[in-house]
Amino acid sequence: MHKNGVAHLVAEHDLHGINRIMRWLSFVPECRDAPLPIWRNLQDPVDRDIDVVPSSVQCDPRTFLAGKMERDENGIENWMSGFFDRGTFMETLAGWARSVVVGRARLGGIPMGVIAVETRTVDRVIPADPANADSEEQVHMEAGQVWYPNSAYKTAQAIRDFNNGEQLPLIIFANWRGFSGGQRDMFHEILKYGSFIVDALVAYRQPVFVYVVPNGELRGGAWVVLDPTINPDCMEMYADETSRAGVLEPEGIVDVKFRRSRILEVMARLDERYRSIKQQLDSPGQSATQRAELKAQLDARERELQPVYRQVALQFADLHDTPGRMHAKGAIRKVLCWRDARRFFHARLRRRLAEERVFALLHAADKDLPRSTMVKELHARWLNSGHGEDKPSDDNSDVAVADWLESAAGQKAIADWQQSVCALRVRTQVAVLAGEDHVAAIQGLAAALKAMSVEQRSELLSQLGLAS
């Protein structure tokens, strides 16, 4: 069952199984909509660099998630820290669809769902059918950085588990080149399982961070299903300084946009020798021998220049896939440095969780209150709380905003805001009901007067007198 995704974890004995169950439950809130179980007293500090950097060659993604022990030149083992808190990463569904790694971990004590990419080639073993004597065991090789039907379904299932069952924030360490498009994978419904990822992310109601890792890339359909515009209220995308992203790779862009005819046009415009030969060839009065010699010279010059022009075109196309260009186009929120990513995401996660708690309170007070209105009002109250000209939309203010929302002053401001929203909703409803039926509104007001205290009745009558 561990190999086909039915069992999430495997235990050696009963005590080991109970231990794994309790560890899993430690990531989950005690009930629905309850606060996350945050471990505040951890020996692994948030304010530290990440030692293990994702490699440009094939490597185990678990090392940069959880860290690893590494021997130095003297044979002494030293701890190389990963992205998450030491010893907190817990992988599930490890035996099934191994080209994707899913699990749970803690970032500064805050539990999170984790999805990462296996960059190494893995084998998928399909056992022989015991009921068929002619069947044999089949072994299929699955390349890294590619979504296959089983790994796409595993990704969608993990996202649904994190959202519906556990209500955890999610971080996706993106490094996909796209979906497998072979005929066998199309028959096994790769497109359907890819759409499951989109459906799961659209329905996600906790913060989601998509981070293109160092030396990683995000291409093709993988970009489509992870685009934050499918759930802009919850999803944010970031990219490392050394990453690349774009629907087509530079080679594909050049093949489409800079074909041979376009290359020859650029040669004629920029290269004086090529232009001179071409003008002589096009001029009338040339003999057949001269034209053959000029044509040979032109072809030789084309063969000499074409690799250089193609290389320049590839470099130019690659510049469009850089993090700086993605940020300028609004495709990502910020360009990050991997060593500082732990600090940044912890601060950002604290702020986003605090903001979501505020929005949940306001939504309970008025279900029709737009999220955009809540965001603007929260920013205004932040500025009015004595923080000067600091912009709450700046990343540098994440820690300050989170501290304010968690402080007594911030909680009082939010409580006052919730009370005013609730009062506005009641006033609006009373005004709407009075407009629908004046007689019923007067009768209801008379009944409300009887249920009020003397002080409340006097205040209402004074308000009515001021209104008249």
Closest CA to 401 of 444, 366, 354, 334: 354
| Partners of 113 in beta bridges | 104, 170
95's CB contacts (< 8 A; 6+ apart) are 2, 3, 10
Q: What pLDDT is recorded for position 388?
A: 47
Work out the number of other CB atoms within 10 angstroms of the CB of residue 127: 11
Instruction: List pLDDT tens digits, range 202-225.
Output: 999 999 999 999 999 999 899 999
Instruction: List pLDDT tens digits, range 276-328.
Output: 988 888 888 778 888 888 889 989 999 999 999 999 999 999 999 999 999 99
Residue identified by tokens 């005929």 is: 183
Domain architecture of the chain: domains with CATH: 14-246+323-332 (3.90.226.10), 251-319 (no CATH), 339-436 (no CATH)
CA angle 78, 83, 87 (to 5 degrees): 60
217-219 and 244-246 as β-strands: parallel, antiparallel, unpaired?
parallel
DSSP string, 148-164: -HHHHHHHHHHHHIIII
Q: What pLDDT is recorded for position 150?
A: 93
- Spatial separation of the C-alpha atoms in residues 468 and 460, rounded to whole Å: 12
Tell me the Cα Rg of the chain.
31
Q: What pLDDT is recorded for position 324?
A: 94
- Spatial separation of the C-alpha atoms in residues 24 and 91, rounded to whole Å: 10
pLDDT below 50 — which residues of the chain?
A: 388, 468
- Residue 144 backbone phi and psi in degrees, to 5: -75, 165
100-107 and 110-117 as β-strands: parallel, antiparallel, unpaired?
antiparallel
